[in-house]
Homo-oligomer: A and B are copies of this chain.
Amino acid sequence: MAQPAPAAHPPSPTSHPLPARGRPRSERAHQAILQATQELLLESGYAGLRLEHVAARAGVGKATIYRRWSSREELVLELVSGIGAPRPTIDDLGDTRAALVRAVLDPIMTITTTPFGPTIRTLLSEIAGSGGPGERFRETVVAAHRAAIETIVARGVERGDLRPDVDAPMATEMLLGPVFYRLIVGGALDRDLAERVVHAYLAGAAVPQTDWF
Contact A203 B207 (CB under 8 A): no
| Pairwise interchain contact B174-A174, C-beta atoms closer than 8 A | yes
Answer whether A163 and B208 are a contact pair too, CB < 8 Å, given A121-B128, A181-B180.
Answer: yes
Q: Is the CB of A206 within 8 A of B162?
A: yes
Q: Which residues on the B side are within 8 Å of A173 (C-beta)?
A: 177-178, 181-182, 187, 193, 197
Q: Is A29 an interface residue when CB atoms closer than 8 A count as contact?
A: no
Secondary structure of the A contact surface, majority rule? helix
Among A124, A161, A167, A171, the most chain B Cβ lie within 10 Å of the Cβ of A124
Residue A27 interfacial (CB < 8 Å): no
Q: From A162, A166, A187, A203, name the one whose CB has the most chain B CB atoms within 10 angstroms.
A: A203
Give the chain B neighbours of A35 by CB distance below 8 A.
Answer: none
**A199 vs chain B, min Cβ distance (A):** 7
A200: which B residues are within 8 A, CB to CB?
Answer: 166-167, 170, 174, 201
Tell me if A176 counts as interface (CB < 8 A to partner B). Answer: yes
